[in-house]
Amino acid sequence: MFSGTVGGISDLYLLDVESNEVRQLTHDKELLAFPIWTPDGRTLVCERKRAGDTQVVTVPVDGGEPTLLVDAPGQSWPYSVSGDGDRIAYAGFRDGVWNLWWVSRSTRETVQVTQFRDRDGYVRYPAWSPQGDELVFERSRTIGDLWLLPQSP
Provide the pLDDT for residue 25. 83
Tell me, yes or no, whether 147 lies in a domain: no
The reported pLDDT for the residue numbered 43 is: 96
pLDDT of residue 102: 97
pLDDT beneath 70: ranges in the chain? 153
Q: Identify whether the C-beta of residue 44 lies closer than 8 Å to the C-beta of residue 31.
A: no
Do the domain assignments include residue 53?
yes
Q: Can you give the CATH number for the domain in which 63 is found?
A: 2.120.10.30
- pLDDT at residue 14, rounded to an integer: 80
Answer yes or no: is 150 within a domain: no
Domain count, the chain: 1
In angstroms, rounded to a whole number, what is the distance separating the alpha carbons of residues 121 and 22?
Answer: 39
Residue 108 lies in a domain: yes
Q: Report if residue 153 sits inside a domain.
A: no
Eight-class DSSP state of 39: T
Tell me what pLDDT residue 131 has: 87
pTM score of the predicted model: 0.86
Tell me if 149 is assigned to some domain.
no
33 is in which domain, residue-wise? 2-141
Q: What does the pLDDT read at residue 11?
A: 80
Assess if residue 117 is contained within a domain.
yes
Distance CA 2, CA 145 (A): 40
List, for residues 70-83, the tens digit of each pLDDT value: 999 999 999 999 99
Q: Please report the beta strands in the chain, taking only residues with DSSP state E, as ranges in sequence order.
A: 2-6, 9-16, 21-24, 31-37, 43-50, 53-60, 67-70, 75-81, 87-94, 97-104, 110-112, 121-128, 135-141
Give residue-wise pLDDT tens across range 102-129.
999 999 999 999 999 999 999 999 999 9
Within a domain: residue 62? yes
Residue 13, pLDDT score: 81
